[in-house]
Every structure is written in C-alpha cells, then in structure tokens.
Homo-oligomer: A and B are copies of this chain.
Amino acid sequence: MTNAASKQNMANAIRALSMDAVEAAKSGHPGMPMGMADAATVLFDEHMKFDAADPHWPDRDRFVLSAGHGSMLIYALLHLTGYKDMTMDEVRNFRQLGSRTAGHPEFGHATGIETTTGPLGQGIANAVGMAMAERHLAARYGDDLVDHHTYVIAGDGCLMEGISHEAASIAGHFGLGKLIVLFDDNSISIDGSTDLAVSDDISQRFEAYGWQVLSVDGHDMAAVSSALSAAKAHTSQPTIIRCKTTIGYGAPTKAGTAGVHGAPLGGDEIAGARDALGWAHEPFIVPDDILSDWRDAGRRGSAEREAWQSRHAASASASAFDAAMTGDFSSDINDAVIALKNAYAAEPQKLATRVASQKAIEAIMPACPILFGGSADLTGSNNTRVAAHEIFDQGRNGNYAGNYIHYGVREHGMAAAMNGIALHGGTIPYGGTFMVFTDYCRPSIRLSALMKQRVIYVMTHDSIGLGEDGPTHQPVEHLSALRVIPNLLVFRPGDVVEAAEAWQCALASTTAPSILALSRQGMAQFRHGDMAENKTALGAYVAVEADGDRAVTLMASGSEVGIAIDAQSKLAAVGIAAAVVSVPCLELFWMQNADYRKAVLGNSPRIVIEAGMRQCWDRLLSENDGFIGMDSFGASAPINDLYTHFGITSEAVVEQARAITK
C-alpha cells in the first residue's frame, strides 16, 4: 500500500498505457480504463489477494473485467504488477496478431486473465459462478484452503443486459457475500448519455436482489478503499459499489463523452491529457519509482500465499482438494461406466436417453465426486438430479457443500455461471434445460467453446419427439446450429449405452464443452455384447452391419437410430442389404482418421435419418443420397402423429432406399 500522491501516479500509469496502446493500435477503448484507473489501483494495491509471481495459486482472489472492451485496464494492471508474461512488448502490441493483448481479454492468452469477456454481461455472470464455486469448495475442503473474494468491474452495458439480472438474482439468492462488483457508473454508453435509453434506479434494483449497495466517487481513492473494506466486512450479501466516474478521465475535451469510449484519442487529446494528469513521460514509459510501487503491489500477496501453502501442507483435506482442482477422475469413471454398460448388457433397457443420462450420473457420481449439477427449473424433466445430491444453499442459510443447484428459470445465467465454475476449478459443472433453450444459453455456450472449458449442457426434449408442447419447444435447427460452433462436442446418444458413453466422453473432454441432446421419449437398447470399448468416442460406428454386400448405409442419431434399425429389417425383407451407422457425435467422427471414416461410411448410397434440419449432414451426403428429417418448424401433437406427419418413419426410409438403390 502506497501513499496518496504515489497512488495517483500509479493510476496515471494505467491511463497513460491505455491511451498509448490504443493510439498505437489505432483502435480500442481508452475511456473505461481511464475512468476506472483510480478504483482499480485501490483494488490491486490495497485489497486484492494475489501474487503476480504465482498466478495460479488456487486461493487467489479472482478478478473479472466484465466490461471487457476496457481490456487495456487489465493488461496495464498485469504488466505493472509484474505478471511475467505481460511484458511491455505485449502492451505495445495491443490488438496485434499473436499478441497476448487481444482486443478483448481472452482467457488462456495471458496469466491473470480469469475469463474471456467482451460480450457484455457475461463476465459478471461468470463471476457469480466463481463465487459459487468458492463457497462450495470452502464448505467441502475447509476455509483454510478456500477463502477468497471475486471482484468484478462492470459497466452500464453489463447491467443493461438481461444476463446481469439473472446473475445478480442468483447471487443475491445464494447470499454470495464474497462477490464484490465495482460498477463503473459513468452515465455514458456508445449512443451517448445513458439517459437516452435507461432510467433504472440501479441501487434499488440491486437491493431488490438482496445485495448490499454502496456508492462512492470513483476518483476518490480513500472512499473507494473504504467501500471495499465495507464490502469485505459484509459477508451475508454480495456487494455492488457504484463508482461514479468520468469516462476518459483526464482527456481534456473528450472526458465524460461517448467520444472517448471506443476510439483512439488522437495526438492532441493525448498531449492534453498528459498535461492534465501531470504525466510527462514518453509513450510506454513508466518511471522506475512508479513501476516499483506497482511491483510492490504485485508482491503484496506473497506472504498470504505462503501462509496458504503452510495451511495446505497441514490440511487433512489437501489431497482431496488437489485432486478436485486437477479434476481428473477418468480411470474411476471408466470403471463405473463399464460396470453400468455391463449391467445394460445383462439386462437391456428401453428408456428415454434423459433417463439414461440420470442413470449415468448416478453411476458416475461415486467415481467422480466433483460433479456440480443443476437445472434451470426443469429438474424432473431434465433428470439432472439423483438421490445422492444435496441442494446447494437452500435459501440464504444453507448448505454450500450441496452439489445440486436450482438455477431457477435462468438458462443464460446458468450457462454463464457454469463457465465461471469451470474456470474457477475444483468441480465439473453440468446443467439442464430443454434443448430448444440452447438458444437462450447460446452466447455463453459459445464462450465455453472459445475458452475451452469442460462445461456439460444436459439438453433434454431434443426433437419433435417431445410432442404436444409444440413448435416453440421443439428443436429443429438446433443440432446444426450447435454443431457449427467450433470446439463444441454435440452428443446425441441413441440408447442407454451411448448415453453412458456420452457422459464419459464429456467428462474426458478437458478442452471442449459438450452438449448432451437427450430424448423425452423412450427408445430401445441396440448396443449389446462387449462393452469394453467406448464406441461413442469414435463419433460414429457401424451399429448393425448389412447382411450381405451393403446396398445402402443408413446413418442416424439419437431417437432415429431405432427407426433406421426398423427400416433395416424391412429392407432386408425386400432384398436390400442396409447397414446402420449410429452417429452419436459428428464432431468426434470428423476427428477420426480418413480410413476409419471410409470404413464406416462405405461406398453405397447413404440415407441420413435425424429429426432435425439436414444442414450439418450435407457434407456427408451427395446429391443422390437421401435425408429423412425436418425442413420446417414442428407442430403440437402426440409424438407418433408428429413422426408420421413429418414423414420420419421406417416406411419413408424404405421408400427412399428403394428409390436410391434402383
């Protein structure tokens, strides 16, 4: 902690680097870092528990720049406090190809970036997940190992987004007292003054969520520091500190205007700001004394880290905690899944895959005790909860050790919180809703994929097979729309065996999130015999080979594998030898080598059967191949009527196969 004049210089160092880097890049957002430099300086210099020399220390405070466009704020902080990979060269290369200093903070590009932000509102919701993970791990492994804060800087944009409502409401409900949000209350957004578009009483709104609300002049460092102390002292509720700031603080003509938000200031304005701030140094030059103060701040937490290491050495929970943070239970999971599959081999089951998923969770939880489940108010429909679950914090005086979360009707908030939970480490989050509501989660699903996080989305009611709820609830385009997202695995298991295997694959996928697309309706088990191999991991495989030379290959996923198998029998009766290929995961199939793919696909004409749009299959189909699926929205009716109405039947497959193989 440094004195007031020095601290002003420290803040001005952030401002100068932000102006200079944006100017050099000829693009970027100087206004927010300049406005929040004072508050951020207080946070990093006085309050935040971190050690720049050990960025991965598990009990560090987490810092989330939810207003990710102000990325120079975090890059400046990381450089100044001495994170080794954030060199001045990186700062100079702001927004250039291959730099660690992308336009928005990208998780994995540099240490100290706890999450990827930029799409507004995501960061604050990630932080809620981090704070939930923190409380959960503290309850399970002890306060001596886990006891840290999660800090957020959020702007007006974050708080206008709907996801901020869901996240703040979750945080208030669970009483996440170690979550502290600094709201950059600058009354400016891109279109101009925020009063063009918003009249919310933010304080009242957050009080309604059950938060503590504090308000300060964001340029009064002592006031910000007191507020942070008050926030930390208040442990029963999350705190939002409204920091009244001037966007672009220091810029002589543009400060306080939308003009300073998202464009370089220009040479004259920068010169004027240097004068106004009393910052006489050249671009990208931070004088030694100021840098030294910052480096002291970066080292301030080392004693706390060492103390933690001592506690860790003494803790009986340390090895369980370490295993949880490592998160690799693959060997035990494999045993559990094989045992489950052997049980299915012994006694075949006709179940909806959502129920098969529940049975997989039941089987896996003892082997993988760090599953952190939940549902967006569809627990009974998603089959996400099992008997061994305890509820995470029922009300405000609850049980943070509970491993099942009632997320409420907040699909987007759930998805973003799961990203935060995964990023925090120590558990594996999964959460359920209806498949059609992947649309509500989509911005966060994309970030799971971009950040390479092991988040598992349990998406049930995966087609028109859900029946009477009708087109608003029937996913049709969603399989294609999800399969096109890079680095996302979409599983659509066809029976109880594939459902268990899909869970195993999803848990093994440490660098990509997974969607489990699961049926409402029951379907027969078609996998029998040897259960040693996880065939779902191949993406696609021959489920039933043709009796004789293949005349046609029927490819299907999920509930349509059964239709393909029916069609196969009917085709055999008319002398057409069809093979059935089950495709539980197209992405994994594309990752197999070409020889394997060729062997599975064969050379005969193909027909794909899937109760969705064909787009994601087109790469596997030539002009003369067939497709049986949807080309419109669904309808409201009992399931069998719908399959008949939309022509997704084994009869239709037979007809198409006869035409193709003529």
Give Cα A295–Cα B425 distance, bound, in whole angstroms: 62
The answer to whether B377 and A157 touch across the interface, beta carbons within 8 angstroms, is yes
The answer to whether B375 and A437 touch across the interface, beta carbons within 8 angstroms, is no
- In A54-83, the 8 Å CB interface with B consists of 68
Given A103-B636, A200-B208, residue A191 in contact with residue B406 (CB < 8 A): yes
- Count, chain A residues at interface, CB 8 A: 113
The answer to whether A169 and B200 touch across the interface, beta carbons within 8 angstroms, is yes
Is there a chain B Cβ closer than 8 Å to A485's Cβ? Answer: yes
Give Cα A484–Cα B106 distance, bound, in whole angstroms: 29
Give Cα A67–Cα B204 distance, bound, in whole angstroms: 26
Given A162-B166, A191-B377, A476-B486, residue A636 in contact with residue B199 (CB < 8 A): no
Is there a chain B Cβ closer than 8 Å to A35's Cβ? Answer: no
Give Cα A583–Cα B269 distance, bound, in whole angstroms: 44
Is there a chain B Cβ closer than 8 Å to A85's Cβ? Answer: no
Is there a chain B Cβ closer than 8 Å to A328's Cβ? Answer: no
Is there a chain B Cβ closer than 8 Å to A530's Cβ? Answer: no
- Of A279-287, A303-311, A462-470, the one touching chain B: A462-470
Is there a chain B Cβ closer than 8 Å to A182's Cβ? Answer: no
The answer to whether B472 and A615 touch across the interface, beta carbons within 8 angstroms, is no
Is there a chain B Cβ closer than 8 Å to A329's Cβ? Answer: no
Chain B residues closer than 8 Å to A377, beta-carbon distance? 157, 160, 189-191, 197
Chain B residues closer than 8 Å to A468, beta-carbon distance? 25, 27-28, 95, 103
Chain B residues closer than 8 Å to A355, beta-carbon distance? none
- In A158-213, the 8 Å CB interface with B consists of 158, 160-166, 169, 172-173, 189-191, 194-205, 207-210
A81 CB → nearest B CB, Å: 23
Is there a chain B Cβ closer than 8 Å to A119's Cβ? Answer: yes
The answer to whether A199 and B396 touch across the interface, beta carbons within 8 angstroms, is yes
- Of A341-349, A438-446, A554-562, the one touching chain B: A438-446
The answer to whether A615 and B618 touch across the interface, beta carbons within 8 angstroms, is yes
- In A468-492, the 8 Å CB interface with B consists of 468-473, 476-477, 480-481, 483-487
Task: Please encode chain A, from 92 to 104, with 1 for each CB lying within 8 Å of some chain B CB and 0 for all others.
Answer: 0001111100111
Is there a chain B Cβ closer than 8 Å to A564's Cβ? Answer: no
Name the residue on B nearest A380 (C-beta).
B190
Is there a chain B Cβ closer than 8 Å to A378's Cβ? Answer: yes
- Of A4-12, A221-229, A638-646, the one touching chain B: A638-646
Interface centre among A96, A104, A197, A381 (most CB of B within 10 A): A197
Is there a chain B Cβ closer than 8 Å to A622's Cβ? Answer: yes
Is there a chain B Cβ closer than 8 Å to A662's Cβ? Answer: no
Chain B residues closer than 8 Å to A90, beta-carbon distance? none
Is there a chain B Cβ closer than 8 Å to A139's Cβ? Answer: no
Chain B residues closer than 8 Å to A456, beta-carbon distance? none
Give Cα A169–Cα B437 distance, bound, in whole angstroms: 23
- Of A357-365, A408-416, A535-543, the one touching chain B: A408-416
Given A119-B472, A208-B205, A442-B442, residue A161 in contact with residue B166 (CB < 8 A): yes
**Cβ-neighbour of A161 out of B96, B203, B410 (below 8 A):** B410
Extra contacts, 5 of them, besides A165-B166, A169-B198 (Cβ < 8 A), are A97-B636, A104-B473, A106-B470, A172-B199, A191-B375
6 smallest A-B Cβ distances: which pairs?
A162-B162, A197-B408, A165-B165, A97-B637, A618-B618, A102-B636
Of the A-B pairs whose beta carbons lie under 8 Å apart in the complex, a sample of 19, sorted by A's number, is: A27-B468, A96-B638, A96-B641, A97-B635, A104-B636, A160-B409, A161-B411, A173-B200, A189-B377, A197-B409, A199-B396, A200-B208, A204-B207, A208-B208, A437-B443, A447-B472, A486-B631, A615-B619, A618-B618
